[in-house]
Structure 1
Amino acid sequence: MDRDSRIYVAGHRGLVGAAILRRLQGEGYENLITRTSAELDLTDARAVEDFFASEKPEYVFLAAAKVGGIMANDTYPADFIRDNLTIQLNVIDAAYRHDAEKLLFLGSSCIYPRLAPQPMKEEHLLTGELEPTNEPYAIAKIAGIKLCQSYNRQYGSNYISVMPTNLYGPGDNFDLRNSHVLPALIRKFHEAKERGAESVEVWGSGTPRREFLHVDDLADACVYLMRIYSGDEPVNVGVGQDISIGELAGLVRGVVGFEGGLAYDTSKPDGTPRKLLDVSRLESLGWRAKTPLRNGIEQTYEWFLRTSSVKSGG
C-alpha cells in the first residue's frame, strides 16, 4: 500500500472509518476516496457497482456498518441483519469484480459464542450459541468473515478480517437511546453533574466484564494489518485486559468529576457475562495497543465537551 495507492474508506464518517481516515492522512496518504451515505448508498447494489467501476480503488477498508448498543440491537433486529448483510455483499463483491488488490473487513467481538472460553480466541468462532440481544448483527458479521474467506478460496482474492473489541473515542455516539456503554456513561455522568443529581443509573448488575479499545489504536492496527497481513484467519484487535461495568462506571465518574452515587437497574439486560479477546495472534504479528483506558476516557470526555459546546452554541 503505497502513498499514492487509491484507498477507499467505506464509512468514513463513522467512529471507526473516521479514525482510519485520520490515520491514513497522518501518514501521508493522499489518494483517499470517500463518500457520504447521501452520496453513495451502500445498500444499493447498482450504485456500489457504478462507484467501483468509476473509482477503481486498489485498497478497501470496509468500516461501513449499522451499529448500536443493546437497546438498538434488540429494537431493530431486522434492520441490523438486513443492512449489514447488504452492505457487506455489495462492497466485497464489487471489490472483487473491479480488481481491488486488498480489502480489510471490520467485524466485531460479538461474533463469538455467548459463553465462549475467556479470553476468546479466533478459533472459537461458530463453536456455540450467540448472545441473543445482538444475534442478528453478529450473524451478519460472521457472514462478512465467511464472504471474505470464500472469495479468497474461490477467486484467490486478498481479503482479511479484523475483530475489534468494544470501541470508544472521538466521534463516538452519545445518544442514550442507541449508544454503547462507555459513551452513554460519559453523557449520564456529565448531565448528572450539571444537574447536581444524587446518583446515576447504570444498566444491569454492573458485574459483566468488557474490554475497551481506543478507536485510534484500532485504526493504527488496521493500517498495520493492511500492510503486513494476508490470510483467511480473522485477527482479534484488543488490549487483552477487561474491566467490570461497575469498575468502568467508577472510572468514568472520576474522570467527569461526578460526586454522587451509582444506582444499578437490574431490570435492564446485562448481555454477555464476559467479553475479552485473546490478542496473541495480533501481538505475534508485532502490534500492541498503546492508549491506557483512563487516558482514553479523558480524551473522549474532552471531545464530548468540545462538540457539545459547539452543538449548543456555547
Structure 2
Amino acid sequence: MELNSRIFVAGHRGMVGSAIVRQLEASGYGNIITRTRDELDLTNQQAVFDFFKTENIDQVYLAAAKVGGIVANNTYPADFIYENLMVQCNVIHAAHLANVQKLLFLGSSCIYPKLATQPMAESALLTGELEPTNEPYAVAKIAGIKLCESYNRQYSRDYRSVMPTNLYGPNDNFHPENSHVIPALIRRFHEAKLNGDKEVVAWGSGKPMREFLYVDDMANASIHVMNLSNQVYKDNTQPMLSHINVGSGVDYTIRELVETVASVVGFEGSINFDVSRPDGAPRKLMDVGRLKVLGWEYMVELDQGLRKTYNWFIEHNGHIRVK
C-alpha cells in the first residue's frame, strides 16, 4: 500500500475495525476513509454503491459485521444472517463495480465444522456440519469467503479473507447478556468485586480448551496479509483456498481463562463451576501454520492482553452501576 492510498475501513467503530484504524495511522497511512452507521448504512445497496462511486477508494478492510455471543446468536438468528449477508454482498460487489482491486474480508473461526479435526486447518472448510447455535452467522461468513473467491476467479480481483480465532480487547462488547466469553467474564468479576461478592459461578466444567487473540495482533495480521505480494499470497493459499487462519496457535482451558481474568480484575472470592451447564466443543484451536510461513506470529500473551482490556474497560465503563 502507498501511504496516500484511500483506504476504506468498514466497521471502524467496532473492536477489530478500530484496531485496524489505529495500526494504519501508526504506520503512517493518512488517508483512511470511515463512515458511521448513520452516515452510511451498509445494508442499503444503493447507498453503498453511491459511496464507492464518489469516494475513489483504493483498498477496503471489510471489518463491519453483526456479532455476538451464544445467547445473541440463538436469539436473533435472522438478524445475524441477513445483516451480515447484506453488508458483505453490498460492499464486495460495490468495490468491484468501482474497480477496487484490493479488499480484505474478516471472517470467523466458526466457519469450520463443529467436529473439525484439531487444530482446524483452512482445508476443513465445508467438510462437516456447523455448530447449530451460530450456524446462520457462520453461513454468512462462509458466503463472504466464497464471494471473494468468486470475484477473484471471474474478474481477477485481489480479494483476500482472514479467519480470526476468538478475539478480545478495547472496544469489545461488554453487554451483560450478548457478549463473548472474555468481556462477559471481565464484567462479571468486576461487578462481583465492587459488590463484595464472595463467589462467582462459571458455566460448565472448565475443561474445554479455547484459543484467544488480542485484537491489536489481529489488526497487525490483517495489514500484514493485505500487504503481501500477490505472488506470495497465491503461493500460500493453494489449492483453491482464499482464506488464512489468524490466531496464536496456543489454547487454554476455560478454567485457566476464568482464573486469569479473576486475578487481573482483582476478585478475591471463590470460583465455582456449574457442571450442569453445557461445555460446548471440547477444543477449538486454529492451525496457523500457513500464516507463520507468510511471516507473521502473535505478540501479546493472554495475561498481558487481559490487563490491557480490563484497563480499557475501567476507563470507558464508568456508567456501570452495581448494588
Shift of residue 268, structure 1, vs aligned partner: 4.0
Distance 1:147 1:266 in 2: 41
Unaligned stretches of 5+ in structure 1? Answer: none
Counterpart CA distance in 1 for 2:10 and 2:201 is 36
Match of 1:217 in 2: 217
Work out whether residues 148 and 242 of structure 2, in 8 Å CA contact, stay in contact via their aligned partners in 1. Answer: no
* Aligned 1:132-211 pairs, distance under 5 A: 132-211=132-211
Superposed, 1:223-234 pairs within 5 Å as: 223-228=223-228, 230-231=233-234, 232-234=241-243
TM superposition outliers: structure 1 runs of 4+ over 6 Å:
none
Q: Does residue 259 of structure 1 match 2:271?
A: no
Task: Check whether the contact 1:70–1:271 (CA below 8 A) recurs between aligned residues.
Answer: no
SS at match of 2:167: strand
Partner SS, residue 317 of structure 2: helix
Mapped to 2, the partners of 1:54 and 1:5 lie a distance apart of 15
Contact 1:133 1:271 in 2 (8 A): no
Q: In the comparison of the two structures, how many residue pairs are matched? A: 312
Query: Which residue is 1:14 aligned to?
Result: 14
Distance 1:297 1:237, change over 3 A: same
Secondary structure of residue in 2 paired with 1:262:
strand
The answer on 1:277 being equivalent to 2:311 is no
Distance 2:82 2:276 in 1: 29
- What residue ranges of structure 2 are gaps of 5+ in the alignment? 235-240
Q: Which residue of 1 aligns with 2:117?
A: 117
Structure 2 partner of 1:242? 251
Partner of residue 30, structure 1: 30
User: Whole-Å Cα distance in 2 between the matches of residues 101 and 233 of structure 1?
Assistant: 15
Q: Is the 8 A contact 1:202 1:263 kept in 2?
A: yes
Deviations 1:58-104 (A, max 9, x none): 10000000000000001000100111011000000001000112000
* Residue 312 (structure 2) aligns with: 303
Q: Decide whether the 8 Å contact of 1:43 with 1:83 is kept in 2.
A: yes
Q: Which amino acid aligns with 2:16?
A: V
CA-to-aligned-CA distance 1:257-291 (integer Å, 9 cap, x gap): 11112233345443332110010000000000000
- Check conservation: 1:240, 1:279, Cα contact below 8 A: yes
Q: What residue is the counterpart of 1:106 in the other structure?
A: 106
Query: Secondary structure of the equivalent of 1:82?
Result: helix
CA-CA distance at 1:312 after TM superposition: 6.1
Deviations 1:16-44 (A, max 9, x none): 00000000010110111000011100000
The CA distance in 2 between the partners of 1:272 and 1:111, in whole Å, is 14
1:126 alignment partner, SS class = coil
Q: How far apart are the structure 2 equivalents of 1:214 and 1:52?
A: 31
The one-letter amino acid paired with 1:271 is G
Query: What residue in structure 1 maps to residue 237 of structure 2?
Result: none
Residue identity in the other structure for 2:316: T
Please give the TM-score of this superposition, normalised by the length of structure 2.
0.94
The CA deviation string for residues 146-166 of structure 1, in whole angstroms up to 9 with x for no partner, is 000011011111100000000
In structure 1, what is the Cα distance between the partners aligned to 2:212 and 2:141?
Answer: 19
Please identify, of 228-237 and 133-142, the stretch whose mean Cα deviation from structure 2 is larger.
228-237
Residue of structure 2 equivalent to 1:54: 54
| TM value normalised by structure 1 | 0.97
Distance 1:280 1:261, change over 3 A: same
Quote the offset at 1:201 in angstroms.
Answer: 2.2
Name the CA distance, whole Å, in 1 between partners of 2:206 and 2:133: 17
Cα distance in 1 for residues equivalent to 2:189 and 2:290:
36
CA contact (8 A) 2:118 2:285 kept: yes
Equivalent AA in structure 2 for residue 109 of structure 1: S
Q: Percent identical across equivalent pairs?
A: 61
